[in-house]
Chains A and B, each alone.
Chain A
Amino acid sequence: MSLDIWMRENPLTYIWLGSYAVAFLIFAVEVAMVRHKRKITLQQVRLLCNAGDDE
């Protein structure tokens, strides 16, 4: 298996790409999702408030 050989010859790259990069990617995606959720929640609340004001 070429993956095994590559892994043994490039241990640090394997660790960086495989674990740390993945972990930080997950963190980045999580933060992005939370920010997105905030954005659309704010939009909905604004709509609600404006609808209330218009009455």
Chain B
Amino acid sequence: MAINWFKYSAPTTFYGLAGKLIPWFGVSAAILAAIALYIGFYVAPTDAIQGEFYRIIFIHVPASILSMFLYLIMAGYAALGLIFKTRLSSMMATAIAPTGALFAFISLWTGALWGKPMWGAWWMWDARLTSELILLFLYLGFIALHASIDDPRRADRAAALLAIVGSVNVPIIYFSVKWWNTLHQGSTIKFSGTSMHVAMQQAMFTMLVACWLYAIAVALMRVRSIILERERNTTWISELPEVKL
């Protein structure tokens, strides 16, 4: 079955495809999340040192990984839009940004909640948490810049440049924060030292996939609204059943 991928790079065809895919992604995300939680809370054993509190990692780690992953995907789409001038790529970048930012926030929030029982404080200037905070700032900068420019084309291109500069900087920032942390003999939120029990790994991985599927579903939903907005003056939009009512 040869799929003409380029057919779907036009907003007109992508709109329909996205609409059909969203329920699949959404439902699978929900099912996998339920499975992950079951494994995480009923199958995985209590940790020797951290007791029950470690179970926060089943949402904390997937959220962190996804926030970083989504940033790169967002920057990738933005770069595609900038270089090849494909409108849909820029729309996807804009659609992904809020989801990525929310995952970064969840990562910070759950990190703080994990820190409280472990370290006694709601916040620890741990290298990973600090880098996550900076990542949140980068997301917010992208969203703010895009929102501040009225002309959609300029907005897409300016935000794309910012995202690319951000991605290049992320390794430098991460390296310097890590270095800063070791210099000040900061704490590292680590695991109990021994390798993780299989069930813990399974739960974490399942939740990671669940969050990823969720992110795709939400991004597709958002991009549909963006397409509607940007293409509102075209005939194909006025022909849509949901517009014709």
Contact = CB atoms under 8 A, between A and B. Distances in A.
Q: Do any beta carbons of A and B sit within 8 angstroms of each other in the complex? A: yes
Interface of A: 7-8, 11-12, 14-15, 18-20, 22-23, 26-27, 30-31, 34-35, 37-38, 41-42, 44-46, 48-49, 52
A15 B56 contact: yes
Task: Give the dominant DSSP class at A's interface.
Answer: helix
B52 A19 contact: no
B222 A37 contact: yes
Nearest to B55: A15
A15 B113 CA distance: 8
20 contacts: A7-B116, A7-B117, A11-B117, A12-B52, A15-B53, A15-B113, A19-B56, A19-B113, A20-B59, A23-B110, A30-B98, A38-B228, A41-B228, A41-B229, A42-B228, A44-B232, A48-B233, A49-B237, A49-B243, A52-B238
A8 B117 contact: yes
B56 A26 contact: no
Contacts of A22: 106, 109-110
